Each structure stands twice: as structure tokens, then as C-alpha cells.
Amino acid sequence: MSERSPHERSLASPAFPDDDGLTDPRLVGALGNDLDVLEAFAEARVFVPIIALLGEVPAAGDKNAEMAAVLMTGADGRTALLAFTSIATMAAWDPQARPVPVVGRDAARATLDEGAAALLLDLGSTSFSVIETADVEHLAAGHVIARTPGGIAWLVD
């Protein structure tokens, strides 16, 4: 084992090293059924799109750009964070957006961090789903959804 130089840098291992950009297998059979999506979402890998926002043009003439997650505002005034199940569904929405892979639970946390009320999954596709505020909060908190004879329930540790 060799010692590292104090000036040598190392990169963190990627969270999804063999990711092919396709829909996470946990979500494949769930799409189209909101309850199935909720059951699979927390542990599934999704993509949050990041887009460049042009800032002010400084005196030197170079443009500044900031990267930001995408929020949509509905007719009712509520905002929602976008997430996509695959790079293809995201590219169909906006080919210029950069995909950031995260697990669903972290996408739910980002939704709350952004002050959004919901999460829109696969906007513009046939598998489009809306994850509403209460469900986003449960997912972000790490709760697990369970089917019971009386309906569904969120299990809290």
C-alpha cells in the first residue's frame, strides 16, 4: 500500500457507478399507478434536471451562469420540483437539461428544501405522476408506505 502525498486528490466514488440511464427496475412496473410509484419511489434512482440560468453580464463581457433545479408553478400557484425516471424521458422534456441522479427519497428532500409543494415525475410523458405534499414529506422523512385492508398507511419508525 502506497502512502498518498498530502497534495494528491481523490474523487469520491459515484453514487451510481454502473448507471445506464434507463428507468430504475424498481419503477418499471410501477409507472402508471400512483400507489405503486409511491411504494417504489423512495429507493429508486431518478434524475433531477439541472439547467443553466444566465446571470448578469459583467463589464468584461463574459456571461455568468448558475445551475438550478427546475421548479414548475401550477395554475393554483403551488410549485413542484421535476424529476424523471430516465435520461430519455428527461431529454424528451428538455435535451439541454443536465441529469443529476439521486434516490427518490433525496429528490423528495430537495423538493422540500426548495419550498415546493409537490414533485412531478416524468412531466410530459405517458407515465406522468404527481407526488403531493403529504407524500413528499413522508418520503423525505424515510417513512415506508404499506397497504392495509383499510387502505394505505405510512409506517413511521
pLDDT in tens, 134-152: 999 999 999 999 998 988 8
**What CATH number does the domain containing 96 carry?**
3.40.1350.90
The domain total for the chain is: 1
The answer to whether 22 and 84 are in contact (CB under 8 A) is no
Residue 147 within a domain: yes
pLDDT at 157 over 90: no
Cell numbers for 24: 430504475
Lowest-confidence segment of 4-13, 52-61, 91-100 by average pLDDT: 4-13
Residue 48 within a domain: yes
Residue 97 within a domain: yes
What is the pLDDT, as a whole number, of residue 66? 78
The single residue listed with the C-alpha cell 456571461 is 63
Residue 79 within a domain: yes
Residue 11 within a domain: no
How far is it, in rounded angstroms, from Cα 115 to Cα 81? 9
Residue 112 within a domain: yes
The single residue listed with the C-alpha cell 448578469 is 56
Residue 98 within a domain: yes
Where does the pLDDT of residue 67 fall: very low under 50, low under 70, confident under 90, or very high at 90 and above?
confident
Residue 13 within a domain: no
User: What do you get for the CA distance between the two ends of the chain, in Å?
Assistant: 42
* Residue 97 domain boundaries: 25-54+63-155
